[in-house]
Amino acid sequence: MSRAETPRRAGRQGRAGIRDVAAAAGVSITTVSDALNGKGRLPDATRRHVREVAERLGYRPSAAARTLRTGKSGLIGLTVTTYGDEPFTFTEFAYFAEMARAATSAALARGYALVILPATSRHSAVDVWSNVALDGTVVIDPSDHDPVVLELVRQGLPVVSDGRPAGTLPVTAWVDNDHEAAVLDLLDHLAAAGARRIGLLTGTTTDTYTRLSTQAYLAWCQRVGQDPVYESYPAHDPCAGAVAADRLLARPDRPDAVYGLFDPNGTDLLAAARRYGLRVPEDLLLICCSESTVYANTEPPITTLSLKPRRIGTAVIQLLIDAIEGIEHDRPIEQVIPTELIVRTSSQRRPPRTTVSPPRSPAPDN
């Protein structure tokens, strides 16, 4: 009683606390808390009065205190694979941006915010990971024994991964495309368009996407009895892609159709084809995996495989928030998102129509 009487330096160089509101409204802090959070049993008059006073004082509850008390921060970590100092790589650019955009939107709609965090725990002098209170984490393409993921699950935090986890990584759930099916379907499409020898532009990295896609290509080749024709390059190096595209078309066993696994491969292959005087699609059929809309307006427009990053981003967030809020599914959830082959001129020997291409559409659902 003796200390409680001190009027508490009201808003001393900072925001008003719940105590200031209680004092100003002539009630206890319990009543303030209950009134603002819609709990307890209070008459509407008191509730309105307290809310009015809180509004007048510009009271905002301390997020830190609430987090400490409730154990929920409303924050979701989003790890991005880092090469060197930069978060997310050049080749993943459009994909990651689209995926992050959808994830951000989905998280905000459910009252959560995303925190961008590095894939490595020791990115700077202080460990940013342990400095932020997370309710859960989304990891993109985690490696086999990702130490960050292991540490997070050890702490009991739900972890959902974009891309099926390699090895025995104990994630709460994952979302991925069916990469084998996508590649097989796409190769059949090229073969149906008249391709006799299909080449592949792939990466030297061992991530799941590259590995599964390449394996599917090799399996397809074996099935139809074609010798594999492919070039690998470090996908994080934007220069190397153009060089590898050139190498692929310079081979003695030059393919008459190429699938490029990474986003810039389309323009790379197109430029290389021009250098060798190859017409697309007459001499060379072309498909690349990309989310970029520029391929709708290239000369010629290029067929792309979309991994539907927006659907993936949304799905990942829904699964994670369900896990956070205890909407428990019993066993590890695996969700497979279908890909979409956006067929354009570059993969068709007979372009369906020779009219001018209309202005590109907004592509509402990729």
Partner DNA sequence: CGACCATGCAGAAACGTGACTGCTGCTGGG
Partner DNA sequence: CCCAGCAGCAGTCACGTTTCTGCATGGTCG
Task: Say if residue 158 is preceded by a cis peptide, omega within 30 of 0.
Answer: no
Candidates 152-160, 183-191, 222-230, 336-344 — which segment interacts with a second copy by CB under 8 A?
152-160
State the binding partner of 365 from DNA, a second copy, none, CB within 5 to 8 A by kind: none
Give the amino acid at 47: R
- Cα–Cα distances in Å, from 201 out to 244, 288, 334? 7, 9, 29
Q: Binding a second copy by CB under 8 A: which of 1, 4, 45, 126? A: 126
Residue 297 interacting with DNA (CB under 7 A)? no
Residue 130 interacting with DNA (CB under 7 A)? no
Q: What is the rounded distance in angstroms from the CA atom of residue 194 to the CA atom of residue 173?
A: 41
Find, among 177, 207, 199, the residue nearest to 305 by Cα: 177
Range 11-50, binding a second copy (CB under 8 A) = 13-15
Give whichever of 66 and 123 is closer to DNA, judged by the CB atom. 66
Q: What is the rounded distance in angstroms from the CA atom of residue 315 to the CA atom of residue 102?
A: 9
Residue 128 interacting with DNA (CB under 7 A)? no
Q: How far is the CB of 20 from a second copy (least distance, A)?
A: 14
State the binding partner of 207 from a second copy, DNA, none, CB within 5 to 8 A by kind: none
For residues 39 to 78, the per-residue mask of contacts with DNA, x marking binding by CB under 7 A and - elsewhere, is xxxxx--x------------xxxx--xx-xxx--------
Q: How far is the CB of 119 from DNA (least distance, A)?
A: 25
Q: How many residues does the chain have?
A: 366
Q: Binding a second copy by CB under 8 A: which of 29, 36, 42, 128? A: 128
Q: What is the largest CA-CA distance in the chain?
A: 93
Strand extents, DSSP E, 37-150: 75-80, 82-83, 86-87, 113-118, 136-140
Type and span of the H or E element at 159? strand 159-162
Residue 37 interacting with DNA (CB under 7 A)? yes
Q: Binding a second copy by CB under 8 A: which of 28, 37, 62, 222? A: 62
Contact 78, 103 (CB under 8 A): yes
Q: How far is the CB of 156 from DNA (least distance, A)?
A: 12
Q: Which residues contact 302 (CB under 8 A, 6 or more apart)?
A: 266, 270, 280, 286, 287, 288, 295, 344, 345, 346, 347
Residue 361 interacting with a second copy (CB under 8 A)? yes
Q: How far is the CB of 19 from DNA (least distance, A)?
A: 6
Give whichever of 88 and 262 is closer to a second copy, judged by the CB atom. 88
For 75-102, the DSSP string reads EEEEEE-EETTEES-STTHHHHHHHHHH
Give whichever of 1 and 356 is closer to DNA, judged by the CB atom. 1
State the binding partner of 331 from DNA, a second copy, none, CB within 5 to 8 A by kind: none
Give whichever of 14 and 352 is closer to a second copy, judged by the CB atom. 14
Residues near DNA (CB under 7 A) are 1, 3-4, 14, 17-19, 26-31, 33-34, 36-37, 39-43, 46, 59-62, 65-66, 68-70
